């Protein structure tokens, strides 16, 4: 078997992270010493990989500084497509030939503005939706909304700290004021709690527990509550529905991997989302409002950059997610979201759909010591 040159493999891994949104166009890549450490390669190999990416127009060199900045995929890279790493992501108007207008004229609120959230927003507008984006990061919100608008979509945004009740209400008000109604919620915003002190339960600090649940569960509660309040007062659509909520959980709530992902507050928050979906779906079904969840496996997003840079975790993902052969792309989750927010699923509520590349059914994969991810 012919082995792929190391610098090509490293180039593919960096390209996958760029396309998945780990670094947006204009963002500076980490210093060479950091990339070398995280990718476990020599500086010479890294520079070969970056040189290849520069030829493919995925990165550019800053004059006089020798650093690299992520750029939009250029024509040369698009021509190569997925021949190297299979990670090309569609733009807002490029739906992989599958757009059928399933969300035409629907108004979808997306929480979060990178990774899965950004992929969802792009996929929704490709299916004809009007999209309102909200997250706490003004730069990311503005950039995503501008990208969607420049592609011809009807998109707007509001910057909001989604753990703040007042700011959430203002953001939902802004969405309804802009578009007149709210047909769907794609609740993605959340993140790792490691920075707060999340980890194995006996090591989790009380502050780390509270902040991790606030980021991953309170945000979902506040946004879902605000969306439901608006939907309850809306007229039925032609399909007989008032709205649909889709919250994002995690495969780790039911399929833990303690060797790599021992973040128990995060898992508890994601498990609570599943319980919230089940109980609210039962209550709001008579009101013609559907509530579902999607639970991704390990996805190439900014949150998983730590895992994507760890060879042990990447090798584990290749075995544990055999359909993907590695980390999933955010657009795979977005495609499922289109179904669950469209009339195609109008008889589906209270369901938790795993989009995990086979994680939940694959056998236990041997693990060597690694840093892990969430």
Q: pLDDT tens digits for 6-39?
A: 677 787 778 777 766 667 777 777 777 777 776 7
Name the nearest CA neighbour of 325 among 335, 336, 315. Answer: 315
Residue 175 in this model has a pLDDT that exceeds 50:
yes
pLDDT at residue 134 above 80? yes
User: How deeply is 202 buried, as exposed, middle or buried, from its count of CB atoms within 10 A (0-12, 13-18, 19+)?
Assistant: exposed
Between CA 133 and CA 110 the distance in angstroms is 5
Look at the domain 6-73 and name its fold. Answer: Arc Repressor Mutant, subunit A (1.10.10)
**C-alpha 187 chain-centroid distance:** 10
| The token pair that represents 319 in the structure block | 């075995």
Does residue 114 have a pLDDT over 50?
A: yes
In percent, the amount of the chain with pLDDT more than 90 equals 62
Do you know the residue count of the chain? Answer: 374
pLDDT value of residue 78: 35
Q: What b-and-e string marks burial along 36-71, b requiring 16 or more CB atoms within 10 Å of the CB?
A: bebbebeeebbbbbbebbbebebbbeeeeeeebebb
Contact between residue 111 and residue 219 where contact means Cβ atoms under 8 Å apart: yes
pLDDT in tens, 240-280: 999 999 999 999 999 999 999 999 999 999 999 999 999 99
Give the pLDDT confidence score for residue 2 in this predicted structure.
39
Residue 129 near residue 107 (C-beta atoms within 8 A): yes
pLDDT at 33: 76
Residue 218 DSSP symbol: I
**Among residues of the chain, what percentage have pLDDT more than 70?**
83
| Per-residue confidence band for 55, with pLDDT thresholds at 50, 70 and 90 | confident
Tens-digit pLDDT profile for residues 135-165: 999 999 999 999 999 989 999 999 999 999 9
- Flag whether pLDDT at 323 surpasses 60: yes
Tokens of 21: 């949104």
- Span 77-105, average pLDDT: 51
Q: Do domains 6-73 and 107-355 have the same CATH topology?
A: no
* Residue boundaries of the structural domains of the chain: 6-73, 107-355
Q: What angle do CA 213, 216, 221 make, to 5 degrees?
A: 90
294's tokens: 């999607």
User: Domain 107-355 maps to which CATH number in 3.40.50.720, 3.40.50.2000, 3.40.920.10, 3.30.420.10?
Assistant: 3.40.50.720
pLDDT digits (tens, 9 = 90+) for 187-241: 999 999 999 999 999 999 999 999 999 999 999 999 999 999 999 999 999 889 9
**C-beta separation of 106 from 347 below 8 A:** no
Q: Which residues are catalytic?
A: 266
Distance CA 18, CA 72 (A): 9
**Cα separation values, 210 from 195, 274, 286, 319, 324, Å:** 12, 19, 34, 34, 34
Predicted TM-score of the model (pTM): 0.76
pLDDT at 69 > cutoff 80: no
């Amino acid at each position: 078997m012919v082995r792929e040159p190391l610098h090509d493999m490293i180039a593919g891994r960096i390209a996958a992270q760029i396309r998945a949104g780990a670094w947006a166009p204009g963002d500076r890549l980490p210093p060479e010493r950091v990339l070398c450490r995280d990718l476990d390669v020599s500086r010479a190999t890294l520079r070969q990989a970056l040189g290849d990416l520069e030829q493919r127009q995925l990165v550019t060199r800053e004059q006089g500084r020798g650093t690299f900045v992520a750029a939009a995929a250029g024509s040369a890279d698009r021509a190569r497509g997925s021949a190297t790493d299979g990670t090309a992501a569609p733009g807002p108007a490029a739906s992989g030939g599958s757009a059928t207008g399933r969300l035409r004229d629907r108004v979808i609120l997306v929480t979060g503005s990178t990774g899965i959230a950004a992929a969802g927003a792009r996929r929704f507008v490709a299916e004809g939706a009007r999209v309102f984006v909200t997250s706490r990061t003004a730069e990311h919100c503005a950039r995503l909304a501008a990208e969607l608008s420049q592609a011809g979509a009807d998109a707007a945004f509001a910057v909001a700290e989604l753990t703040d009740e007042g700011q959430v209400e203002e953001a939902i008000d802004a969405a309804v004021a802009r578009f007149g109604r709210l047909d769907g919620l794609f609740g993605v915003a959340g993140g790792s709690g490691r920075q707060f002190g999340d980890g194995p339960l006996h090591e989790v600090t009380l502050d780390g527990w509270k902040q991790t649940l606030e980021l991953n569960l309170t945000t979902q509660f506040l946004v879902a509550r605000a969306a439901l309040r608006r939907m309850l007062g809306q007229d039925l659509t032609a399909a007989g529905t008032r709205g649909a909520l889709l919250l994002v959980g995690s495969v780790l709530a039911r399929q833990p991997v303690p060797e790599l992902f021992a973040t128990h507050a995060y898992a508890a928050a994601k498990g609570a989302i599943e319980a919230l979906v089940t109980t609210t779906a039962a209550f709001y079904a008579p009101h013609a409002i559907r509530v579902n969840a999607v639970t991704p496996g390990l996805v190439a997003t900014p949150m998983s950059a730590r895992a994507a840079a760890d060879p042990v975790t990447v090798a584990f993902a290749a075995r544990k997610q055999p359909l993907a052969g590695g980390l999933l792309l955010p657009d795979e989750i977005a495609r499922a979201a289109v179904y669950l927010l469209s009339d195609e699923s109008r008889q589906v509520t209270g369901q938790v759909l795993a989009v995990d590349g086979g994680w939940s059914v694959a056998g236990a994969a041997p693990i060597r010591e690694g840093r892990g991810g969430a």
